[in-house]
Amino acid sequence: MNTVQEEIKKLRRLLNYHSKKYYVEDSPEISDVEYDKLFYRLVKLEEEYPEYRDANSPTVRVGGKASDKFEKITHNVPLKSLTDVFSYEELERWLTKLEDEFGELSYSVECKIDGLSAALHYENGALIYGATRGDGTVGENVTSNIRTIRSIPLEIPYKGMLEVRGEIFMPREAFESLNSEREKNEEPLFANPRNAAAGSLRQLDPKVTASRKLDIFVFNLQAADREFERHSETFSFMRDMGFHVIPFEKVCRGYSEITEAIDEIGKKRAGLPFDIDGVVIKVESLAMRRVIGEGTGTPKWAVAYKFPPEQKETVLRDIAIQVGRTGVLTPIAELVPVRIAGSVVSRATLHNIDFIREKDVRIGDTVVVQKAGDIIPEIVEAKKEKRPIDVSVFEMPTVCPSCGERVFRDEESAVRCTNASCPAQLMQNLVHFASKDAMDIAGLGPAILKLLKDNGVIKTVSDIYRIVPDELIDLERMGKKSAENLVNAIAASKNRGLARLLYALGIRQIGVVAAESLAAHYADIEDFFAVTVEELTKIEDFGLVTAENVVRYFNQPSTRVLVDELKALGVKTTSEIKATVDSRFSGMTFVLTGTLPTMTRSEAEALIKKYGGKTSSSVSKKTSVVLVGEEAGSKLTKARELGVRVIDEQEFLAMLQ
């Protein structure tokens, strides 16, 4: 037995060594096949001799048992956010103010990884736990998921207490592979690698996290049993311990050296295999940091210089017209594909004809493209000096490209098709009706809806509820089990209630919030066939135009037919919101920030409104409560500065008890 135990220890040492060489130092010494042989030998021994299993064995990299929740962990050292500066002028003002008070200083300049922060805690050379940043003071225990990240050492040579902070991210290649797979499976795509990393780290099933190929860069030593004088010393120490440290870190003095280092990082940005969104400048001396001190939510000895939105030039190949569910014709720029802010962009909205004329954008132009908020592609300008001679001014079509009917321009500067039977509108209406915030029909995405429509299974929204399994079995990508699952999901959606149904119908200007407000004031969909504009405008935040849209929609004969069909097919058309007399949040305004552990922001907002509260997108003195989740940012800082009450999801749920 001692021989077995020794072999297990030896295998663990070997696998940890080779993992470090491969994932941290990028200099593997053995082939993947040889590594796998060692790995599966260890798996076999641990299965045969479970008494020798260890929580930090390399075998945990593949993921363990799924959990039903994440426990809270209070950080030993707060994981504070940084003050952002957006120009060299702002950076210079910060440096001048600091050095006027404390004299000339040295600074560590580091690239800022676009991911999510986590703390890793070690004792006696072993990883004890890993926790998300949370609100900076309290995070979530995601140790099982942290252990699946292969660049995180499960054991280190240092035997004292050690806590480090790192940024967990998803490499670009892994992100593109993940989104490609999700597209094949008709699952929602992640907007960018940061969102993908956040969603992956907080999976309840560690096996899912293990499959996502996350990585980490460690950038700060939070606490240790030994003393250090300078930040650069901690970097060397953490590197020696086997941590994957920030790849660019340079000690600088003065404004000129710092801006040169920032420029150097900026030039490398596009070629990196991971996303960065800025540069962090920290005082190098750890003793001086203590002297300079901390602000309310941010340290005074560090700032984050944020890069302006990444812009790239590409060619506008064509302008296509997309017909939306309300009949609006939207011009879409078809671009020569270009990588911007972590993903490949090939299309961008041109909004309307006024936008095209204002920017003077023409087919064939070289255009500058960026992502608004690093998410939504937009055209900034056309490079007129690079314009070909033969380009012409774009004009909106006079007829709908989908149905051929004439279009008109309305008072909102939108060109609109009013043909109720327009195929493009019908398809968009089907997609909207089945979407998550509407009737939330699992498995009924755009591709399946197109398949059903093209094969004559559905023509209208009500046809969705007439589908039977036998109609689906022979269709492409549809087997017996898939057909049964889809029909069951459709049946389950019948009970979503009036608010979701009103939103699903696609009434102009009726979003999720407005639909919930209507359902809170009227008990049955039948009420809307008799409601007046004057009555609707009495509802708080309900304007004249929105009220007119509702009345106009329910005055259409086609609406009467559709509602009768849905009711006959068993779709619930009554409201549960109106029956709620509990108004515990009456007079309160909530602001939500960060990612909540078990619910989406829209779900939390619905609960707030259900109990009489309001939500806002910005924090002010009038804010009652700020509900914070993972990676809460400037809204949390402002709440603390204003003395606004801050709660997490657990406290919010307690308020609902």
Tokens of 598: 């078990």
Rounded CA-CA distance 378/360 in Å is: 14
Rounded CA-CA distance 223/554 in Å is: 64
The DSSP result for 440-470, as a single string, is --TT--HHHHHHHHHTTS-SSGGGGGG--HH
Rounded CA-CA distance 656/629 in Å is: 17
Per DSSP, 437 falls in state: T
Burial class (CB in 10 A: 0-12, 13-18, 19+), 443: middle
Which residues are 614's β-sheet partners?
Answer: 589
- Residue 272: phi and psi, rounded to 5, are -75, 150
Rounded CA-CA distance 231/286 in Å is: 6
- Residue 174: phi and psi, rounded to 5, are -65, -40
The SS3 of residue 545 is helix
Rounded CA-CA distance 81/299 in Å is: 8
Rounded CA-CA distance 262/280 in Å is: 9
Rounded CA-CA distance 269/305 in Å is: 14
Burial class (CB in 10 A: 0-12, 13-18, 19+), 385: exposed
H/E segment holding residue 108: strand 106-113
Tokens of 77: 């050292």
Tokens of 174: 């892994």
Q: Do 149 and 201 form a contact (C-beta atoms < 8 A)?
A: no
Q: Helices then strands (H, E): number in the chain?
A: 23, 22
Q: Do 628 and 647 form a contact (C-beta atoms < 8 A)?
A: yes
H/E segment holding residue 425: helix 423-434
Burial class (CB in 10 A: 0-12, 13-18, 19+), 530: exposed
Q: Do 633 and 594 form a contact (C-beta atoms < 8 A)?
A: yes
One of 37, 80, 97, 112 is an active-site residue; which one? 112
Tokens of 429: 């209406």
The SS3 of residue 360 is coil
267 is catalytic: no
Q: Report the amino acid identity of residue 548.
A: E
Q: Do 23 and 150 form a contact (C-beta atoms < 8 A)?
A: yes
Active site residues: 112
